[in-house]
Amino acid sequence: MRIARLLGTVLGTTLLTTAAVLTAPAHAGPPESTSLDRAELRDALDAVHEAGMYGVFSSVRDGGERWTGAAGVADVDTGRPVTPGMRQRVGSISKTFTAVGLLQQAERGRIRLDAPVSDYLPDLIPGERGRQITVRMLLNHTSGIGDYVAGAFPSLLQGSTASLDEERFRSVHPRELVRLGLTAPATGSPGSVPGTYSNTNYVIAGLLLEKVTGQKAHTYLTRHVIDRAGLRHTYLPRTPFLRGPHPRMYESFFGLIDPPRDYSVYDMSWAYTAGAVVSTTDDLNRFYRALLGGKLVGEASLDEMTRTVPVSGLDYGLGIYALDLPCGRFWGHDGAVFGAGTVALSSRDGKRQMAVAQNLMKYQEIGEDGVPLPHPIDHAFAAYVVGALCPAAPGTETGAGTPSPQAREERLPRLPRIDDSPLTRALAVDRPSV
């Protein structure tokens, strides 16, 4: 559920995603080298913390090699350090899990991607709209259904974050989230492109999964996606509390919450199958490796998942998107909830992977155009992502001939964040004139 124009900005939103627009052309594929420069990775991760991020932790893989690292603090009051294996709310990365569940059902013949949603949930989307919107349109965000986030946190429309605290322990039924999304202005006609990212699509997808399996979504996804992928520290929470070691998760909301407040304890029913998953960076790499390697769905389903359409500036498939970096195309998702942001990307063959998490969100200021202004964290974060996946990429070289800081900055990708967009649009902030 995550559109700031830079990755860090994107990470600074709630339940959204990451895309990239490059100034350098992409090469044919990911790098052939199987070595990981641990010193370079360590320095780049430290740079994110030094730019102002409280805590950041990451896992990187290249073939059989693996590196994990962390920089900064998990708790700003005690100084407790962040560590690589910590659990994190991963926001819209949950959408890939949900899409996998539905594609498994499509493989079993229980649903058809191009069938109307009303065939399975006749009462959910009223009238002709329910007969026009297909399962595929939910999964690739071309349904035209608006986002429920502003309706779920109504104070945002008045430029206040009071709803974030008032609703901290509220349990909300997914059908209520769908109702809020359906009453929001439509973003387009069903099936039209470009599509518009909406968390409502994946709440409906979760209800559809429950209908065709006869199981609660969290039960099905645990047994048939999380366990099948061999994930050891991934789960959908049943209470507002996180299990296992985790950082505090600090939300600034573009300066409206000062100092940033910890939201690590939160009832995530408002995110449901659109963004409630908890995981680790190592588990996320394992998940995408299992998915792209054909262990969770078959080749035909993977072809469907990786068939993209333009959605909110992204090349979006079915619960997964493509990101073009200087060394090739990578697949994955990003996500953000209050106080926590995560990005997970993999080469198509699952060889080169990177997942990274942070515990301070929406630290930027918002400009007069309503778009978050670039922050040093954003540049450092983008440099880390590119350097981890493309160690020889333009703008990430070291040693003799290293480009100037300005040249490096110009070559870095701009990584928009989807999960932030509904919140950023909803937030009515009074901005002083300059």
What span, in angstroms and rounded, lies between the C-alpha atoms of 386 and 407? 15
Q: For residue 332, list its beta bridge partners.
A: 321, 345
The residues, ordered by sequence, that sit 6+ positions from 309 with a Cβ below 8 Å of its Cβ are 140, 142, 193, 194, 195, 315, 316
What span, in angstroms and rounded, lies between the C-alpha atoms of 176 and 93? 22
- List strands edge to edge, sheet with 360-361: 261-262, 250-251, 360-361
C-beta of residue 30 within 8 angstroms of C-beta of residue 60:
no
Task: Take residue 137 and report the two structure tokens written for it.
Answer: 């349109």
What span, in angstroms and rounded, lies between the C-alpha atoms of 161 and 367? 18
- Residue 168, classed as helix, strand or coil, is coil
Strands (E), 24-125: 55-62, 65-72, 88-89
Whose CA is closest to 356, among 2, 95, 40, 88? 88
C-beta of residue 6 within 8 angstroms of C-beta of residue 374:
yes
CA atoms 110, 113, 117, 118: torsion sign: negative
Whose CA is closest to 287, among 61, 8, 53? 61
Whether 433 is a known active-site residue: answer: no
Give Rg (Cα) of the chain: 20
Q: End-to-end CA distance of the chain, in Å?
A: 32
What span, in angstroms and rounded, lies between the C-alpha atoms of 209 and 272? 12
Task: Take residue 250 and report the two structure tokens written for it.
Answer: 């600090």
Q: Read off φ and ψ for residue 311, nearest 5 degrees.
A: -140, 115
Whose CA is closest to 417, among 358, 347, 354, 352? 358
* Catalytic pick among 58, 59, 92, 347: 92
Angle between helices 174-183 and 199-213 (to 10 degrees): 140
Any idea which residues carry the catalytic annotation?
92
